Every structure is written in C-alpha cells, then in structure tokens.
C-alpha cells in the first residue's frame, strides 16, 4: 500500500495576506505585552523587595498564582470571567492584551528582582550617603544598572511571549495561529497552512534570538 500525499500550497495565492496580518498582530501584541509587562513587572518586583511584609506577600501571591496556572486558563478567565464582574463586555482585544501583559509581568517581575539584587549594595549606600532619598537612588542609580543587567533576559522573554501569544487564537484574537487556522477552515487543507505558520514562527524567533545575541555581545563589550 502506498501513502501518497499531495502537497498543495496553492492557497498561498489567495490567502497570503492572512499571514501578513497575523505576523503584524503577533508582533504587536507581544511587544506591547512585554513593554507594559515591564512596567507592571518592575512595580511587582518593588513589592517583592519591599521592607514591609504585607507588600512582599502581595507581590509573591501575584507571581506564584500567575506562574502556577496555565496562560490559556488565565485568558479564559479574563475573556469570559471579567465581563461578569464588570457588567460589560471588554472585547477580545482587551482580554488578549490584558492576559498576556499580566502573565508576562509575573515573569518579568522575577527577572527585575534578580537584576536589582545583582546591583552592588555599595551603590545604594553611596547614593544614600549623598543625601538621595531611597526612591531617587532607585531611579537614578539602581534601576539603570539593573535594567542593563536584565536586557538579555528581557529579550528572551519577548521571544517566549511571541510563542505563547499563539494561545490567544482560542478566543478569536486574529494573530498568526488564528490566521493559519482560518485558512485551514476555508480551504479544507489542514497540514500546509500550519506548516507555513510554523516556518514563520521559526524565522521570527530565530532572527530575534540572533539579534539578541549580537546585542548582548555589544553590551558586554561596552563594560
């Protein structure tokens, strides 16, 4: 018996633009999630490093709950659960951005915490000895150094989020995986559209990793 499969990529003529939209949406949502996750995550890392235990507890609970549950479940909770409490529909876009940001922020909080702790203790002492307040020293002295420490890890997080964002397709957010799935539904071809999306993901992430590697070496060279 012979298993002959007829490869058929002819759908690319009619549906190629689906991929372009998908790529744009994937990159957009990932970038925005990581950037707003950076802001939120930095604030959470402050909680985790606070001298007050209730704040530390809030920070830990946030990080542990987010890291201890699957993204897809969080996404469903935001998409279907939040409207029940709010009393109005928040829409797929908001749910998608919110879920991905809040998820990424938990991981970034841990990255930032490590980055801040890696800054030499003498830096804070020197800043404080000059009369700087704790928050001024944090902004002027500690965070710029911490940020430089964690840039490679943040880049990594961006790559991870690009992959994870494929989950957003399940609530109808029209990113790359959703588009590939849409093509499958429209053409009844199931393998090839997914293969193309896999290839696109790989190219995106491979390029990104290489760029990050170059950036990291530059950063090290400037030390």
Partner 1 sequence: MIKVSGLKKSFGKANILNGIDAEIAKGEVIVVIGPSGSGKSTFLRCLNLLETPTGGEIEYEGQLVTDRRVNINELRQSMGMVFQQFNLFPHKTVLENVTLAPIKVLNMSKAEAEKIGLELLRRVGLEEKRDAYPNRLSGGQKQRVAIARALAMRPHVMLFDEPTSALDPEMVGEVLDVMKSLAKEGMTMVIVTHEMGFAREVGDRLLFIDGGMIVEQGPPREVFGNPQHPRTKEFLSKVL
Q: Which of 8, 65, 91, 140 binds partner 1 (CB under 8 A)?
A: 140
> Minimal distance in Å, beta carbon 218 to partner 1?
16
Residue 148, Cβ neighbours under 10 Å: how many? 14
Q: Which is nearer to partner 1, 102 or 127 (CB)?
A: 127
Contact 181, 19 (CB under 8 A): no
Contact 200, 105 (CB under 8 A): no
125 binds partner 1 (CB under 8 A): yes
Q: Which of 73, 130, 214, 219 binds partner 1 (CB under 8 A)?
A: 130
Q: Which stretch binds partner 1 (CB under 8 A): 92-100, 108-116, 143-151, 181-189?
A: 143-151
Contact 15, 183 (CB under 8 A): yes
Burial class (CB in 10 A: 0-12, 13-18, 19+), 85: exposed
Q: Which is nearer to partner 1, 64 or 125 (CB)?
A: 125
Q: Which is nearer to partner 1, 137 or 161 (CB)?
A: 137
Residue 169, Cβ neighbours under 10 Å: how many? 21
> Minimal distance in Å, beta carbon 149 to partner 1?
11
Q: Which of 8, 28, 89, 120 binds partner 1 (CB under 8 A)?
A: 120
C-alpha 54: how far from chain center:
27
- Site residues (CB under 8 A) for partner 1, limited to 144-183: 144-145, 148
Q: Which stretch binds partner 1 (CB under 8 A): 4-12, 74-82, 131-139, 170-178?
A: 131-139
> Minimal distance in Å, beta carbon 43 to partner 1?
22
Helices then strands, counting H and E runs in the chain, come out as 10, 0
136 binds partner 1 (CB under 8 A): yes
129 binds partner 1 (CB under 8 A): yes
Alpha helices in the chain (DSSP H): 11-48, 53-67, 71-76, 82-86, 91-117, 121-129, 134-137, 143-164, 176-187, 191-221
Tell me the three state secondary structure of residue 120: coil
Question: CA-CA distance, 28 to 38, in Å (whole number)?
Answer: 15
Under the rule (CB under 8 A), what is the footprint of partner 1? 120, 122-123, 125-133, 136, 140-141, 144-145, 148, 223
């Amino acid at each position: 018996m012979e298993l002959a499969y007829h490869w058929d990529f002819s759908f690319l003529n009619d549906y190629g633009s689906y991929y372009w939209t998908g790529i744009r949406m994937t990159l957009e949502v990932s970038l925005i999630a990581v950037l707003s996750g950076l802001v939120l995550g930095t604030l959470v890392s402050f909680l985790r490093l606070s001298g007050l235990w209730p704040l530390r507890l809030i920070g830990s609970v946030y990080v542990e709950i987010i890291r201890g549950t699957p993204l897809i479940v969080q996404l469903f909770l935001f998409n279907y659960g939040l409207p029940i409490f709010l009393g109005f529909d928040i829409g797929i876009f908001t749910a998608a951005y919110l879920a991905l940001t809040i998820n990424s922020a938990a991981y970034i909080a841990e990255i930032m915490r490590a980055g801040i702790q890696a800054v030499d203790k003498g830096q804070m002492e020197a800043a404080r000895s000059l009369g700087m307040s704790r928050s001024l020293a944090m902004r002027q002295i500690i965070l710029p150094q911490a940020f430089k420490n964690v840039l490679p890890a943040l880049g990594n997080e961006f790559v991870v989020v690009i992959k994870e964002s494929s989950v957003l397709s399940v609530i109808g957010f029209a990113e790359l995986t959703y588009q590939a799935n849409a093509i499958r539904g429209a053409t009844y071809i199931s393998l090839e559209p997914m293969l193309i999306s896999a290839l696109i993901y790989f190219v995106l992430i491979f390029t990104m990793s290489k760029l990050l590697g170059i950036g990291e070496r530059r950063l090290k060279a400037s030390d």
